[in-house]
Amino acid sequence: MAQAVTSTSGEGSLVTPTLLQLFLLFMRIGLTSFGGGLSGWLLREIVHSKRWLSEDEFYDALTVCQALPGINSVNMAIWIGFRIAGVVGSLVNLAGLLIPPAVLIILLGTVLSSLTRFPVTGIALTGAAAVGIGLALSMGIGLARRLRRRTIPLIVFAGTFFAIGVLHWPLLWVAGAAALINVTAEYIRLSRS
Amino acid sequence: MWALPISLFLIFLPMSLVTIGGGYGIIGEMQRQVVDVHHWMTTQQYLEAFALSRATPGPGSLMVTFIGWQVAGLMGALFATLGIYAPASLITFGVANIWRRYRGARWQKALEVGLRPVAAGLVLATVYILLLTINGGWLARAIALVATALLVTTRINPLVLLISGAAIFTLGRFFLPV
């Protein structure tokens, strides 16, 4: 389980995990995340505490994974696995993230279906879900901090937030239009420079 | 014995491609298919499966696994899970491949930088909606905001935070007028 230093970027040296380490981390995240915010856990563990990816690369991956169909956390597991260890990495991450909780939901559903009827379980889960929201919010702040301080990106950012969060417009149309506008603007900017 | 698992697979297959973000968008369509069209579950059973998927760890979309299990046992669980995850997973895998091959291309940079404000807006809008709708009153919102502050400013372990959040909220519910 020797850890090799692979690169020295601005954010300090990155570390390459073994497949077992990848599996164990995704299993832990799969088994301990309640109420969403899984990607927030990934940022915390993979970038901040373990240094397997740089923060920039993580946010790039998150941005692309959000735009693709599928569940964010599952897409992230595939993407991160592939970046670190190729096809096998993707499969290992998927297995770690999905199989243990899948077994658990079947066990709990059949054997202990009465568990969710104890009020205290529901109350504790609400508290855990609140922390899940905190994880998602801290990730949203991280993304927002990295925006270019220019007119078009900031308008697109504010417009997306307002249209979805306040006006409840359909997500696909809003995200599609916002993406089209801003990606085109960036492409033109990159072509000129 | 294959008919039921295969029809589960075929029903969840297209839903895989319209799941965006957390997958909340497909809950309604899933209910229509499973309860109204195929009569595999009652509405009550469906709602219980939904509650169970919120109460267990992991992606909420694992609710599909449980539905498959209830409808057709182990094969049902396997085929339903494959249906909901396989197509989108293959696409993500393909794009990850293309991304590595064209590392540094202009279109790639434009997509990464250009999609970022959209991603930030989506994440924060989702958080905003969750904060408004979480059924725990001001205490739950306070826990979410304190957790955010701690996550942004310190290197605290999320698991510690999760357990503390659950404990503080439970105690608060019993001892504070919420």
Per residue in A38-87, pLDDT tens? 888 899 899 988 999 999 999 999 999 988 888 888 999 999 999 999 99
pTM reported for the whole predicted model: 0.81
Q: What is the DSSP letter of A115?
A: G
Indicate yes or no: CB of A74 within 8 angstroms of CB of B145: no
Q: What is the pLDDT of residue B97?
A: 95
Angle at A143 between CA A18 and CA A38, to 5 degrees: 50
ipTM for this prediction: 0.81
Q: For testing the chain B interface, which of A91, A92, A131 should be mutated: the one with the most B CBs within 10 Å?
A: A131
CB-based contact, B90 to chain A, within 8 Å: no
Give the Cα separation of A37 and A53 in Å (integer): 19
Closest-CA distance of chain B to residue A71, Å: 6
Q: What is the DSSP letter of A22?
A: H
Q: What is the pLDDT of residue A1?
A: 38
- pLDDT band at residue A118, thresholds of 50, 70 and 90? low
What CA–CA distances, in Å, run from A172 to A50, A53, A177, B21, B28? 34, 29, 8, 11, 16
Q: Which amino acid is at B59?
A: P
User: What's chain A's average pLDDT?
Assistant: 86
Interface of A with B in 81-110 (CB under 8 A): 82-83, 87, 90, 94, 97-98, 100-102, 104-106, 108-110
What CA–CA distances, in Å, run from A76 to A84, A138, A178? 12, 17, 22
Angle at A90 between CA B80 and CA B116, to 5 degrees: 95
Interface of B with A in 4-23 (CB under 8 A): 16-23
CB nearest A128 (choices: B70, B99, B166): B166
Q: For testing the chain B interface, which of A133, A139, A191 should be mutated: the one with the most B CBs within 10 Å?
A: A133
- pLDDT band at residue A133, thresholds of 50, 70 and 90? confident
Indicate yes or no: CB of A69 within 8 angstroms of CB of B18: yes
Higher model confidence: residue A19 or residue A125?
A: A19
